[in-house]
Homo-oligomer: A and B are copies of this chain.
Amino acid sequence: MNEKDTVISMSVVRRLPRYYRFFCELRDSGVARISSRNLAERMGVTASQIRQDLNCFGEFGQQGYGYPVERLCEELRQILGFNTTHGTVLIGLGNLGRAVVNHMDFAGKGLPLVGIFDDAPALVGTQVNGITVRSTSELEAFCAEHQPSVAALCIPKEAAKQLSERLIAAGIQAFWNFSHYDIAVAHPEVVVENVHLGDSLMTLSYLLEHK
């Protein structure tokens, strides 16, 4: 698969999690095989797109027999990187940070949450999901000891520039960035997955306007 990595477009990559979810749901409901046509109906996409997308990663289907569901779950798990473990820290335990900590399955995606940071005096020292909340003054010492690779930034834009610089200097290689600060412009070398809620709301407005 590695030789193919460079040619896979971000559009295909962004569709992979949804394929993974659908194959896992099929497996959990006892389905052993599914045709691209049947899967296409369930997912609301075309069978040809499914075949094209999955073909980017290997030969998983068999003409006339469909996809083996269990195998696709395992292959997509591997492709999505869940079998590689990277420690993750979360910065900012406001409403958004709390929603992320409570609802996201970090460990199941190979990104176990190992540290939570927030500077609010009322929060420092408390426990959230078994993790002690620390002040950001401890960031560098914590990273030196625990070597996390990933940071989830649930902080305002104003704080994100300085904190992302410190985190990169401390060895962070990838950001789950809710902060609305464009980390990637200054740091093309790190992996950045942006969740820009403001941009998403604007996109909704566009789609409604041009319905």
Which of A's residues lie within 8 Å of B, judged by CB?
A: 5, 11, 13-14, 16-18, 20-21, 42-44, 79-82, 84, 86, 94-96, 98-100, 102-106, 109-111, 149-150, 173-174, 176, 182, 184-185, 188, 191, 193, 195-211
Q: A104-B197, A208-B191, A211-B191 are in contact. Are A109 and B202 (CB under 8 A)?
A: yes
Shortest Cβ distance from A2 into B: residue: B210
In the complex, what residues of B have CB within 8 A of residue A94's CB?
Answer: 99
Contact of A205 among B14, B18, B81, B100 (CB under 8 A): B81
Q: Are A204 and B174 in contact (CB under 8 A)?
A: yes
Q: Are A18 and B199 in contact (CB under 8 A)?
A: yes
- Copies of this chain in its oligomeric complex: 2
- Bound-state CA distance A5–B207 (Å) is 10
Question: Other than the known A16-B206, A17-B202, A109-B205, what 12 A-B pairs have Cβ atoms closer than 8 Å?
Answer: A13-B206, A81-B205, A81-B210, A100-B197, A104-B201, A105-B201, A106-B201, A111-B201, A173-B211, A176-B201, A191-B211, A193-B203
Interface SS of A by simple majority: helix
A68 to chain B, nearest CB (A): 21
Shortest Cβ distance from A14 into B: residue: B203
User: What would 22 A/B residue contacts be, using CB atoms closer than 8 Å?
Assistant: A16-B202, A20-B202, A21-B198, A21-B199, A43-B182, A44-B182, A44-B185, A81-B208, A82-B205, A84-B208, A84-B209, A99-B99, A100-B197, A104-B198, A149-B208, A150-B204, A173-B208, A174-B207, A174-B208, A174-B211, A191-B207, A193-B201
